[in-house]
Amino acid sequence: MPRQPRLDAPGVLQHVMARGIERRKIFRDDQDRNAFLERLAVVLDETQTQCYAWTLIPNHFHLLLRTGLTPLSQVMRRLMTGYAVTFNKRHKRSGHLFQNRYKSVICEEDPYLLELIRYIHLNPLRAKLVQDLNELDKYPWTGHSAILGKRKNPLVPYASSNRKREKTEKSLAEKTVEDVLLHFGNKLREARRRYRQFVKDGVDQGTRPELQGGGLVRSAGGNKSGLLGRKKEQREKGDERILGSGDFVVQALKGANELHERSIKCWISLDELIKRVSKDRKIDTKDLISSKRKQEISNTRAIISYLAAIELRYSGAKIALALRLSEKSVSRCIERGKKLLDMDKKLLDYLQ
């Protein structure tokens, strides 16, 4: 049976897993692990992808991601291909490093965000890479220690942590840790204490098969009897690419179909979009890709970025290349573009 296409959309929570080919090690030593994390930090920062939890096991890894404008496929391609090249060169090997393609499961946030953070961060303990929770608290190869503040967060990019920044400016990785702790309280010390207790409460829960993939049976906690006993018209829809309730499955599939239909219906080239918007707003394309910051030029960039990313589904990387901007700048442009579109829906006419 052919594999189904992956589901993806900006802002979606995804549990991502990848394993070494023939279950071989993809991390042989700490140098490998550090190389992977350094690459992951850069990719996450440049694509503005949030990582709520992560764990490196010798022959596989787990990530809990929320994608930004850059599709998950591009994020993972940059991460896995780049790391494989580095690994092969260092260990003087050739060929595939990873087994098939990575696995990703869209997750319903309310019931699963914290459960998956705990599940992923407890992996080293289940794999007996650490002996107890106290050892896990300081273990460097999972995000648990960074949330507790026991170790420096390796997902903060080196360049970001060393440049001079305003006191109020934080990296996305730092903000993500804050987002996790806010679920446990507003005061840092108390939030960390409650988070650790939450993780401790999960130690005796075992392998949690219902959190290891998608599908209706997993979403129901593995209890098939309750599902099989329902009448056909009462059964919730299920999909192996989605972890969530029947309603969430339906909405996720509907959203994916709408994005696909929209991309087919409205597709025009990025160059054509830039020409249309620039011509109508009387902006020279040379000024558009320059460093000029006049308001009308900035607004034009914002409109193009929003229409290209949200309506036409171009990646942040492609928009950044076309407009000579960084992907971070494109993200800011899209936010500004949304406000402009909210005030003037006629701007959608550029797509006609």
CATH number for the domain including 325?
1.10.1750.10
Q: With respect to residue 62, please indicate whether it lies within any of the assigned structural domains.
A: yes
| pLDDT digit string (tens) for the chain, length 352 residues | 345 555 666 778 889 999 999 889 999 999 999 999 999 999 999 888 999 999 999 999 999 999 887 888 889 999 999 999 999 999 999 889 998 788 888 887 777 899 999 999 999 999 999 999 999 999 999 999 999 999 999 999 875 555 554 445 789 999 999 999 999 999 999 999 999 999 999 988 766 655 555 444 444 444 444 434 444 444 444 456 666 665 666 666 665 554 444 544 446 788 888 999 999 889 888 888 888 878 899 999 999 998 888 778 788 888 999 998 888 888 889 888 888 888 887 888 887 7
The predicted structure's pLDDT at residue 252 = 60
Are 98 and 230 part of one and the same domain?
Answer: no
Q: With respect to residue 129, please indicate whether it lies within any of the assigned structural domains.
A: yes
Domain count for the chain, please give it.
Answer: 3
Helix axes 30-47, 172-182, angle to 10 degrees: 90
Strands (E), the chain: 13-19, 50-57, 60-66, 103-107, 242-243
Q: Which residues pair with 15 in a beta bridge?
A: 64, 105
Q: With respect to residue 310, please indicate whether it lies within any of the assigned structural domains.
A: yes
Q: Is the pTM of this model over 0.75?
A: no
Are 18 and 127 part of one and the same domain?
Answer: yes
Q: With respect to residue 6, please indicate whether it lies within any of the assigned structural domains.
A: no
CATH number for the domain including 69?
3.30.70.1290
Are 38 and 143 part of one and the same domain?
Answer: yes
d(CA 312, CA 315): 9
Are 167 and 227 part of one and the same domain?
Answer: no
Q: With respect to residue 284, please indicate whether it lies within any of the assigned structural domains.
A: yes
Q: With respect to residue 107, please indicate whether it lies within any of the assigned structural domains.
A: yes
Are 206 and 179 part of one and the same domain?
Answer: yes
Are 258 and 279 part of one and the same domain?
Answer: no
The strand pair at 242-243 and 103-107 is best described as parallel
Are 181 and 223 part of one and the same domain?
Answer: no
Last residue of a domain, one of 141, 176, 211: 211
The predicted structure's pLDDT at residue 31 = 97
Side-chain-facing half-sphere of 349: CA atoms under 13 Å: 5
Are 41 and 102 part of one and the same domain?
Answer: yes
d(CA 179, CA 289): 35
Q: With respect to residue 109, please indicate whether it lies within any of the assigned structural domains.
A: yes
Instruction: Kindly tell me the sign of the dihedral angle through the C-alpha atoms of 34, 40, 41, 42.
Output: positive
Last residue of a domain, one of 211, 232, 254: 211
Are 197 and 243 part of one and the same domain?
Answer: no
Q: Which helix (H) or strand (E) holds 179?
A: helix 172-182
**Which residue range(s) make up the domain with 320?**
267-351
DSSP letter string, 142-176: BTHHHHHTSS--TTS-HHHHHS---TT---HHHHH
Are 243 and 279 part of one and the same domain?
Answer: no
Are 189 and 312 part of one and the same domain?
Answer: no
Q: Which residues pair with 55 in a beta bridge?
A: 62, 142
CB of 306 within 8 A of CB of 343? no
Are 202 and 325 part of one and the same domain?
Answer: no
Last residue of a domain, one of 145, 180, 211: 211
Q: With respect to residue 5, please indicate whether it lies within any of the assigned structural domains.
A: no
The predicted structure's pLDDT at residue 342 = 83
